[in-house]
Structure 1
């Protein structure tokens, strides 16, 4: 998508926290292609230098290597910035269960630091990565923004607290905020390695090596898998919108369809087999269910469509084709 068509003024300076991460680096690339000045703040705890290496020669790109847990760093990063796209966080439900203190320090204290930095710098709008994990044990389907359940993990708690803090800063200090509840984002630059790798790149790498992917549980759990370009579109719409009814609230960022893990593996095998026919015969292993996992996830995107004009261009099939092509080219 040409983001200039969303009427984002190229003269704007945008701070992307976590800008060396999967989603953050894709946002940086999109903004730079639009002519925006981009500041990337990252401590490289999970972000990767290779994700932003291609931007180093761009005069509109500045890297601040720092940690959002340091208030002075946040204030420096927000100085003379028009918009903030706050992506920096420690993701992963299992990571938060193993180390809830660090997840809280980064995701809550770091988030509060960024809000203070944005407030003090008179930033026009603060758009932040929220999470579908906020829906917790709610059985309501599809998930609508106004109905949530009880959080099922420390990570989910931290992301819900973000929404509460953003609301307070909107109401108390007049800082415009928009929260984007991401639903299982996937695509180019997503890290397939490490203990907390997301399911799609992890399965892709295993299948490319003819290794059996392991599904946690019986494969019936389902997710609203969301391709990265849909997420980029939503972030740009969130900072470009002039609709006053669209700010100081939260939105689901998804495609609006769900795919269970069995179906996911079959799709991965189908598209990867176009590159290597042996992959279609790789068997799937079923392991124990993970603690804190939400059984099913399906988003209503009606609110985003109505208030922000969101129109996701990639479903699971078209997104997987793009992602697999990138992984095969870059990681095989």
Structure 2
């Protein structure tokens, strides 16, 4: 099996690359290293195509001889998209379209694309089903909705085997803090271990469906192995609902450290609550058992401690 992982030097991508290599697969990585890290691939037997999705020649070379593409490359973060909506659109929407088109031209057998739970936006329903209406609240969310819809359109228009996953809040090793657009768990862990205040936007009652990266990778690899497809998006989360206050309590219990919490005004574009209806996911992948938040936080803390020495 030969696969291409776009964004393979990033957080989810590098975890996926490791697991694919462990199964004896041949792996190529396309990454411009704008948010990924070359160090994430150190010691791994991969072919790195360094550059942009928007470079047609590079994309063609990366897709040559590939059986499946797992398209994870994206410019993440709601706040970043509000500062620079055009860059988010070009990477997430246009970039996905170019990946799909090159896969079609290159005869790639399957394309799996990462969308986002942010597409649900203003829809208050919990849990959120794939057939619920969507109302994105940020340029990032709009760009991911475009990406998933292009993915489904290529399935219907060209017969390309595709699968669009709506990722929720993925966390785990190789998800770094230390930058303004870092996700909440690495930011909390980094601050907690450094004895710094944990910054909470809002009153801490906003909630998320946190999913451990190892579970996400298990689903992605199962999708490639089984050539799984779906005419609709599929939530990739298991229906948990954890408030930020509960997350802080879990980190406190896991570390024995009691953090100071700094409450600040809510951020524009942030969704207050997020929880997946996992019915479709469990139907397609009945053998996948999710790693619990407690266990996932333990693995994450171990990685952070190793990183910081």
Specify the TM-score bucket, using the shorter chain as the normaliser: over 0.9
Q: Report the CA distance between 1:199 and its aligned residue.
A: 0.6
* Counterpart in the other structure of 2:153: 168
Deviations 1:141-189 (A, max 9, x none): 1011111321100000000001111122111111111011111000000
Q: Report the CA distance between 1:42 and its aligned residue.
A: 0.5
Out of 61, 73, 76, which is 1:91 matched to?
Answer: 76
Q: Report the CA distance between 1:254 and its aligned residue.
A: 1.1
Bigger mean CA deviation after superposition, 251-260 or 35-44? 251-260
List alignment gaps of at least 5 residues for structure 2.
Answer: none
* Counterpart in the other structure of 1:3: none
Q: Are positions 1:328 and 2:305 aligned together?
A: yes
Secondary structure in 1 aligned to 2:163?
strand
Q: Report the CA distance between 1:331 and its aligned residue.
A: 2.3
Q: Are positions 1:17 and 2:6 aligned together?
A: yes
Cα distance in 1 for partners of 2:227, 2:18 equals 23
Out of 91, 98, 103, which is 1:113 matched to?
Answer: 98
Q: Report the CA distance between 1:132 and its aligned residue.
A: 0.4
Cα distance in 2 for partners of 1:180, 1:167 equals 11
Q: Report the CA distance between 1:242 and its aligned residue.
A: 5.0
Cα distance in 2 for partners of 1:299, 1:32 equals 30
Secondary structure in 2 aligned to 1:249?
coil
Give the TM-score normalised by structure 1.
0.90
Cα distance in 1 for partners of 2:143, 2:210 equals 22
Q: How does 1:48-67 map to 2 (within 5 A)?
A: 48-55=37-44, 58=45, 61-67=46-52
Secondary structure in 1 aligned to 2:179?
coil
Q: Are positions 1:81 and 2:66 aligned together?
A: yes
* Counterpart in the other structure of 1:180: 165
1:114–1:164 CA distance, 2 compared to 1 (3 A): same
How many residues are aligned here?
A: 309
Give the TM-score normalised by structure 2.
0.97
Give the CA RMSD over aligned residues: 1.2
Out of 290, 295, 300, which is 1:318 matched to?
Answer: 295
Q: Are positions 1:258 and 2:258 aligned together?
A: no
Would the aligned equivalents of 1:70 and 1:110 in 2 still touch at CA under 8 Å?
no
Q: Are positions 1:127 and 2:104 aligned together?
A: no
Would the aligned equivalents of 1:241 and 1:308 in 2 still touch at CA under 8 Å?
no
* Counterpart in the other structure of 1:288: 265
* Counterpart in the other structure of 1:31: 20
Q: How does 1:178-217 map to 2 (within 5 A)?
A: 178-217=163-202
Secondary structure in 1 aligned to 2:54?
coil
1:314–1:137 CA distance, 2 compared to 1 (3 A): same
Q: Report the CA distance between 1:101 and its aligned residue.
A: 0.6
Deviations 1:203-259 (A, max 9, x none): 11111111010100000000001100110011112212256xx43432111131110
Would the aligned equivalents of 1:167 and 1:249 in 2 still touch at CA under 8 Å?
yes
